[in-house]
């Protein structure tokens, strides 16, 4: 009987799960926490910022595959954060999904039209958000 020597190193799996990193920006901490858990359950790595100023710091420090962002927030609104984020990472331009209850607001509607960004109006079905994220990252 002959024995083969075996390596001490574990074999790498043939298929590996590639996790996508998402920055979730919303001043509603309860909603942000719920969406973080839901998206994590869908195998996304989710980082949370509670306003645009915190989010811009995170965009400068980390690489994200997508950003889900509320529009109406204190300190730095979502549209203002978007414009600043484009200067830091222009590749994120088509990787934003905005969530808002104010899509018809005169301050917001022109921004959404001009930049042709994805937008979900609150309240939205969680399944719709997940589908939107998957399509964005496909």
Give the global pTM: 0.84
Arithmetic mean of pLDDT, 19-33: 96
For residues 69 and 98, is the Cβ–Cβ distance under 8 A? yes
Q: By C-alpha distance, which of 75, 96, 84, 27 is closest to 56?
A: 84
pLDDT tens profile 79-130: 999 999 999 999 998 999 999 987 777 878 888 889 888 999 989 999 999 9
Q: Which domains are present in the chain?
A: 20-137 (3.40.50.2300)
Query: How far apart, in Å, are the Cα atoms of 25 and each of 7, 12, 30, 45, 124?
Result: 45, 35, 12, 14, 16
């Amino acid at each position: 009987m002959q024995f083969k020597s075996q390596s001490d190193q574990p074999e790498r799996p043939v298929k590996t799960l590639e996790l996508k990193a998402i920055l979730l920006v919303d001043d509603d901490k309860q909603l942000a926490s719920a969406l973080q858990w839901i998206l994590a359950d869908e195998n996304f790595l989710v980082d949370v910022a509670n306003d645009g100023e915190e989010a811009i710091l995170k965009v400068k420090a980390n690489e994200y595959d997508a950003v889900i962002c509320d529009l109406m927030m204190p300190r730095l609104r979502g549209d203002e954060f978007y414009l600043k984020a484009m200067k830091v990472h222009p590749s994120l331009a088509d990787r934003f999904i905005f969530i808002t209850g104010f899509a018809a607001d005169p301050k917001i509607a022109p921004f959404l039209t001009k930049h042709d960004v994805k937008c979900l109006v609150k309240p939205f079905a969680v399944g719709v958000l997940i589908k939107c994220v998957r399509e964005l990252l496909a």
